[in-house]
Amino acid sequence: MIKHSFWLLGLFAVPVWAADLAASLHWAQRVELGTAVSGIVQTVAVKPGDRVKKGQVLVSLDATAFSAQVAEGQASVAQAQEEEKDAKRNLDRVQELYNRTVIAATELEAAQLRHARAQAQLTAARARLAALNKQLRDTTVRAPFDGVVLKRQVEPGQAVASQLKPEPLIVLARTGEMVARGLVALPEVRTLKPGQAVEVEVEGRRYPGRVRLVGLEPVGPKGEYAIDVVFPVEDILRAGTPAVIRLP
């Protein structure tokens, strides 16, 4: 069982780490990025090792056809809006005549039906335009977070087919934090909980960390449980690097 102990330094209690746990580094988040539309790659703006900011353009497809479809969709919306306005004006006119008992109820019902159809056509045109705008946006692959490019698996001029099993174009890892992953025995794992403060040492440098995950099922060869500790970093460390988790 891990015990807690402290050295008194002035008015502060400094923790003495009771156990060292062998670990290895992993990315805090690793994603494989692709496109949801098919097309020809126009530009690839990054290479492995590049650091990127959230929202930065990584890959762009030729968007000519998609831009034309959006323009067509905008025209369809404009036409549907005019038809809806005309149907509404007609309905208002027919409603007034009906209120004055000049026309029959069947004419009012016909005007109401025409307006309802015009409204439905406008709604459908707007929905189609929204879908076309999304397809246009999907021609550009952007970084979902600040990160470092691990792999570039696409080149300008390459055809991308979204209907087939999509291959990742860019593999990206989050920067700013890493995860130290190790295995602990059952007696020790009972003393740990998510959010608990621990320390991680990598190549002689120490980092303050917090437990992110405590395993609930044994995964090690001797029935150990996995523990993940996330810690902030300024530089880019390599996944797989040996580390030490210092448990309190």
Q: Where in the chain is the domain with CATH 2.40.50.100?
A: 33-61+139-173
Q: Does the structure show a pLDDT above 70 at 18?
A: no
- State the burial class of residue 234 (Cβ atoms within 10 Å of its Cβ: 0-12, 13-18, 19+): exposed
Average pLDDT for the chain = 90
Tokens at 195, concatenated: 């959010």
Taking domain 64-137, whether its CATH number is 1.10.8 is answered by no
CB atoms within 10 A of CB 93: 12
What are the contacts of 212-220 at 24+ separation with CB within 8 A? 212/179, 214/189, 215/189, 218/186, 219/183, 220/183
Q: Does the structure show a pLDDT above 60 at 5?
A: no
Considering the domain 33-61+139-173 in this protein, what is its CATH number?
Answer: 2.40.50.100
Distance CA 8, CA 199 (A): 19
**CATH class given for the domain over 5-28+176-247:** mainly beta
The string of pLDDT tens digits covering residues 82-138 is 999 999 999 999 999 999 988 899 999 999 999 999 999 999 999 999 999 999 999
Q: Does the structure show a pLDDT above 60 at 200?
A: yes
- The size of the chain, in residues, is 248
